[in-house]
Amino acid sequence: MHNGDFWSLLKTTGYQLGPGALPEGREPMGTRLPFTQGTTIFALKYKGGVLVAGDRRATAGTTVMYDRTDKVLVIDRYSVMAIAGVPATAFEIARVMEHTFKYYRRSQLQELSLEGKVRALSRLLKENIPMALQGIGAVAPIYAAYDLQRKEGKIFFYDILGAEFEVVEFATSGSGSPAIRGVLHYENRWGKRALGDLPEEEALTLSMRLLETASEFDSATGGSNRDAHLYPIIKLVTQEGVREVAQAQLESLFAKKVIGRPVEGGPGLNVG
């Protein structure tokens, strides 16, 4: 009996996350071949819950490999994992997480606690340490969930070794994150409203502007593409569950509020 522990069940059948450590003296392929990576992701608390966003670009070295990557993955009805790093490893971790939560629910006839879900992701990242240290499977995710007991959204970010950190207002990860982290702090501290008080449309507009800003300063971050009707992936985690914002809604916001300068009454810097 595994008492709802799906990961232990997998390990007893011989499964391991990734190929494991290389034999002594073997050089990781990642040091000689560029591997696919993805950035930029962030999560922020707004009035209705948690908004989680990511750009769509995946790169290998200086080559753009794909421009429609989904970096915000639904794990269960009330939680998502945003990925920065190697998609192959991140997708595998997300699949194990999804099945872990289902296995626990069906074997224990109750939902796994939020604390248990947070530790499950930490445990998987720790299992991935050999790959991360070889430089070929590093993942630095953000996990966002709605806590039904406390009736509030929660945001956690992790380092590649599995250390977890809960944040109060926002979290960022990926190579484009330094360009927007300071903006988020500024907006939360001195903006017209704290991030947690932003209505949904203002939070969406701010998020699209942030990703456009990141794409200006980080070549690994993709911007919006009006010709291809291609916009970021944004998912909202609320008391009603996880909802993906339609590309048509983002396209409309992009045309009205992202192009050009902020209008009076809209989200943006409030200097003077």
Spatial CA neighbour of 137 closest among 18, 267, 221: 18
8 sits in which H/E element: helix 6-12
CB 121 within 8 A of CB 97: yes
Write phi, then psi, for 268 (nearest 5 degrees).
150, 180
Spatial neighbors of 247 by CB under 8 A, at least 6 apart, are 229, 230, 231
pLDDT at 114: 95
Tell me the average pLDDT of the chain: 89
Strand order in the sheet with 164-167: 72-76, 79-82, 142-147, 152-158, 164-167
Token pair, residue 185, equals: 């702090």
CB 165 within 8 A of CB 172: no
pLDDT at 23: 61
> Per the residue annotation, which of 12, 39, 63, 221 is the catalytic one?
39
| Banded pLDDT at 63 (limits 50, 70, 90) | confident
Cis peptide leading into residue 12 (ω within 30°): no
Q: What pLDDT, in 10s, does the model give residues 86-118?
A: 888 999 999 999 999 999 999 999 999 999 999
Environment class of 148 (CB within 10 Å of its CB; exposed 0-12, middle 13-18, buried 19+): exposed
Q: What pLDDT, in 10s, does the model give residues 128-169?
A: 998 888 777 889 999 999 999 899 999 999 998 999 999 999
Three-state SS at 161: coil
Q: Between vectors from CA 44 to CA 39 and to CA 50, what angle results, nearest 5°? A: 110
CB 144 within 8 A of CB 173: no
| Phi-psi group of 85: left, alpha or beta (phi > 0 → left; psi -120 to 50 → alpha; rest → beta) | left
pLDDT at 20: 61
Q: What pLDDT, in 10s, does the model give residues 232-245?
A: 999 999 999 999 99
Q: Which residues pair with 65 in a beta bridge?
A: none
Spatial neighbors of 205 by CB under 8 A, at least 6 apart, are 253, 257, 258, 266, 267
Q: What percent of the chain has pLDDT over 90?
A: 68
Query: Does the structure show a pLDDT above 60 at 31?
Result: no
Q: What percent of the chain has pLDDT over 70?
A: 88
Token pair, residue 114, equals: 């939020």
| Banded pLDDT at 272 (limits 50, 70, 90) | very low
CB 54 within 8 A of CB 71: yes
Q: What pLDDT, in 10s, does the model give residues 33-59?
A: 555 555 899 999 999 999 999 999 988
Measured from the Cβ of residue 149, the count of other Cβ atoms closer than 10 Å reads 7
pLDDT mean over 186-200: 95
100 is catalytic: no
